[in-house]
Structure 1
Amino acid sequence: MKTLIRNFSHTFRRFFTASILNILGLSIAFASFFVIMTQVDYDYNFNKGYKDYEKIFRIEINPNPDSGWQLWTPRPLCEQLQSASPYIKSISQVESYQSEDEYEVNGNLFKATTCTGFGNFLETFQPEMINGSADALNQPKTVLLSESTAKKFFGTTDVIGQTIFRGKQADNNAWTIGGVYKDYPENSQIRNWVMMPKEADTDKGNWKNWNYICYMRLESPSAAPEIEKLILQIFVKNFPELEQESDISQFIRLTPLVDAHFSTVGNKSASSRTTLYLLICVSFLIVIIATINFMNFSLAETPMRIKSINTQKVLGATTRSLRLTLITEAMLISFIAFILALIWVAILKDFGLQELVNAQLTITEHPMLLLATFCLSLLMGLMAGLYPSYYVTSFPPALVLKGSFGLSPQGRILRTVLVCIQFFVAYMLIIGVGIMYLQSRYIRTSDYGYDKDAIIVGNMTKETQSQTDAVVGELSQIPGVKGVAVSEFILSSADNYMHWGRSNGDKYIQFDAFPVDCRYLNVMGIHIVEGRSFKPGDEDVYIFNEFTRKKYPWLKVDQPAPDDNLVIGFCENIKYSSFRNDDTNQTMAFLIPGKKFAQWEWEWRNFVNVRISAGVDKVEVIRSLQKTMEKFTPGHDFNFRFMDEVLDANYRNELRFTKQILLFSLIAIAISLTGVFGLTMFESEYRKKEIGIRKIMGSSTIQILYMFNRRYILILAGCFIVAAPFGWWIGQHWLQGFAEKTPVTPWIFILSFLLVTLITMITITIQSWKNANENPANSIKTE
Structure 2
Amino acid sequence: MNRRAKAIGVHKCSGANTGTIFGMFLWETGVIMLSSLLLVALLLFNFREPLEDMLDVSLAGLFSWENIWAPLSVIVILFMIGGMLPGQLFARIPVTQVFRRYTEGKKGWKRPLLFVQFAGTSFIFGLLGLVLMQSHYITNKERGFDYHRVAYASGISFDSDAESDANRSVMLSLPYVEDGACSGNLLTDGLSGEGVTTDNGQWMSMRWVEFGKDYAPFMKLEFAEGKNMDAPGQILVNETFLKMMHWEDKPIGRQVRNGDRIAGNIVGVLKDFATSNAAYVAVQPMYATYLDRFSGNIQLRLKEPFDDNLKRLNEDMEKLFPTRDIVFSSFQKVIDNQNSTVTDFRNAALLAAITILFVTLMGLIGYINDEIQRRSKEIAIRKVNGAEASSILRLFSKDIFWISLPAVFLGGLGAWYIGGVWIEQFVEGVDFGICGFLLIACIVLLLIIGCVVFKAWRIANENPVDSIKSE
Report if TM-score (shorter chain) is over 0.5: yes
- Higher relative CO (Cα under 8 Å, sequence separation at least 6) belongs to 2
The aligned counterpart of 1:500 is 194
Alpha-carbon distance in 2 for matches of 1:545, 1:342: 52
Q: In the TM superposition, what are the counterparts of 1:377-776 in structure 2 within 5 Å?
A: 377-384=75-82, 386=85, 406-408=103-105, 411-452=106-147, 454-459=148-153, 462=156, 468-470=164-166, 472-473=168-169, 483-491=179-187, 493-494=188-189, 496-503=190-197, 506-535=201-230, 538-553=231-246, 556-562=251-257, 563-567=261-265, 568-584=267-283, 586-593=284-291, 605-610=296-301, 618=306, 622=310, 629=317, 632-633=320-321, 638-641=327-330, 643=332, 645-746=333-434, 748-750=436-438, 752-776=440-464
Aligned amino acid, residue 590 of structure 1: A
Matched, 1:373 2:84: no
**Cα 1:530–1:383 shift into 2, 3 Å:** same
1:408-429, Cα deviation, whole Å (9 max, x unpaired): 3xx3121121122222222222
> 2:181 is aligned with what amino acid?
A
Deviation at 1:499, TM superposition (A): 0.7
Corresponding residue SS for 1:500: strand
Maintained 8 Å contact 1:331/1:378: no
The question of whether the paired residues in 1 share the 8 Å contact of 2:234 and 2:264 is answered with yes
2:55 maps to 357
Alpha-carbon contact 2:13-2:95 (below 8 Å) kept:
no
Per-residue deviation at 1:434? Answer: 2.2
> In 1, distance between residues paired with 2:156 and 2:61?
42
Residue 717 of structure 1 aligns to a residue whose secondary structure is: helix
Listed as ranges, the matches of 1:32-181 within 5 Å are none
Please list the CA deviations of residues 182-212 of structure 1 after superposition, one character each: whole Å capped at 9, or x if unmatched.
xxxxxxxxxxxxxxxxxxxxxxxxxxxxxxx
Letter in 1 for 2:51: L
Name the structure 2 match of 1:308: 7
**1:322–1:393 CA contact under 8 A, matched in 2:** no
Q: Which amino acid aligns with 2:72?
A: F
Q: Is the 8 A contact 1:427 1:753 kept in 2?
A: yes
Ranges in structure 1 where 5+ consecutive residues have no aligned partner: 1-297, 595-600
Give the letter aligned to residue 443 of structure 1: I
AA aligned to 2:183 is S
Q: Distance in 1 between matches of 2:241 and 2:389?
A: 72
Matching residue of 1:219: none
Counterpart residue type for residue 574 of structure 1: F
Deviations 1:333-374 (A, max 9, x none): 675367436634763463533222123322795225323432
Name the SS of the counterpart of 1:367 in structure 2. Answer: coil
In the alignment of these two chains, the number of paired residues is: 460
Structure-1 separation of matches of 2:29 and 2:98? 29
The offset of 1:767, in angstroms, is 3.4
| Cα distance change on mapping 1:686 and 1:697 into 2, 3 Å | same
**8 A Cα contact 2:221 2:271, kept in partner:** yes
Contact between 1:363 and 1:370, CA under 8 Å: does it hold in 2? no
- Distance of 2:328 and 2:469 partners within structure 1: 75
SS in structure 1 of the partner of residue 320 of structure 2: coil
- Asked if structure 1 preserves the Cα contact closer than 8 Å seen for 2:182 and 2:294, the reply is no
Alpha carbons of 1:661 and 1:697: their partners in 2 closer, same or farther (altered >3 Å)?
same
Q: Partner of 2:193: helix, strand, or coil?
A: strand
Relative distance call for 1:336 and 1:637 in structure 2 (3 A) is farther
Tell me if structure 2 keeps the 8 A contact 1:310–1:393: no
Describe how 1:18-29 pairs up with structure 2 within 5 A: none
Deviations 1:508-551 (A, max 9, x none): 3321112221111112222222332122xx12432111121122
Q: CA deviation at 1:455?
A: 4.9
Distance in 1, Cα, partners of 2:180 & 2:91? 76
Query: Is contact 2:416–2:434 with CA below 8 Å preserved after alignment?
Result: no
Across the aligned residues of Structure 1 and Structure 2, the Cα RMSD in angstroms comes to 4.1
The SS at the match of 1:739 is coil
Give the letter for the 1:608 counterpart.
Q
Residue 774 of structure 1 and its aligned partner are, at CA, apart by 3.5
> C-alpha distance in 1, partners of 2:290/2:391?
77
**2:311 and 2:124 mapped to 1: Cα distance?**
42
Deviation at 1:724, TM superposition (A): 1.8
**Identity of paired residues, percent?**
20
Q: Is the 8 A contact 1:500 1:511 kept in 2?
A: yes
Residue by residue, what CA displacement relative to the aligned partner does 1:17-56 show, whole Å, maximum 9, x if unpaired?
xxxxxxxxxxxxxxxxxxxxxxxxxxxxxxxxxxxxxxxx
**Using the alignment, how far apart are the partners of 2:373 and 2:424 within structure 1?**
49
Within 5 A, what are the aligned runs for 1:289-308?
A: 302-303=2-3, 305-308=4-7
Cα distance in 2 for partners of 1:554, 1:363 equals: 54
CA distance in 2, matches of 1:627, 1:672: 53
Name the aligned partner's letter for residue 54 of structure 2.
L
CA deviations over 1:227-249 (Å, ceiling 9, x no partner): xxxxxxxxxxxxxxxxxxxxxxx
8 A Cα contact 2:228 2:268, kept in partner: yes
Query: 1:277-309, CA deviations, whole angstroms, 9 ceiling, x for partnerless residues?
Result: xxxxxxxxxxxxxxxxxxxxx5xxx34x23323
The separation in 2 between residues aligned to 1:636 and 1:768, in whole angstroms, is: 69
The change in CA–CA distance for 1:333 and 1:693 in structure 2 (over 3 A counts) is: farther
How far off its partner does 1:721 sit? 1.5
Classify the secondary structure of the residue corresponding to 1:485. Answer: strand
Q: Is the 8 A contact 1:523 1:611 kept in 2?
A: no
Query: Matched residues in 2 for 1:531 and 1:627: separation?
Result: 40
Structure 1 residue identity aligned to 2:216:
L
Cα distance in 1 for partners of 2:327, 2:362 equals 49
Q: Which residue pairs with 1:21 in the alignment?
A: none
Q: C-alpha distance in 1, partners of 2:195/2:20?
A: 79
Task: Give the letter aligned to residue 242 of structure 2.
Answer: R
Distance change in 2, residues 1:347/1:623 (3 Å): closer
Gaps of 5+ in 2: none
Question: Which residue of 2 is the match for residue 187 of structure 1?
Answer: none
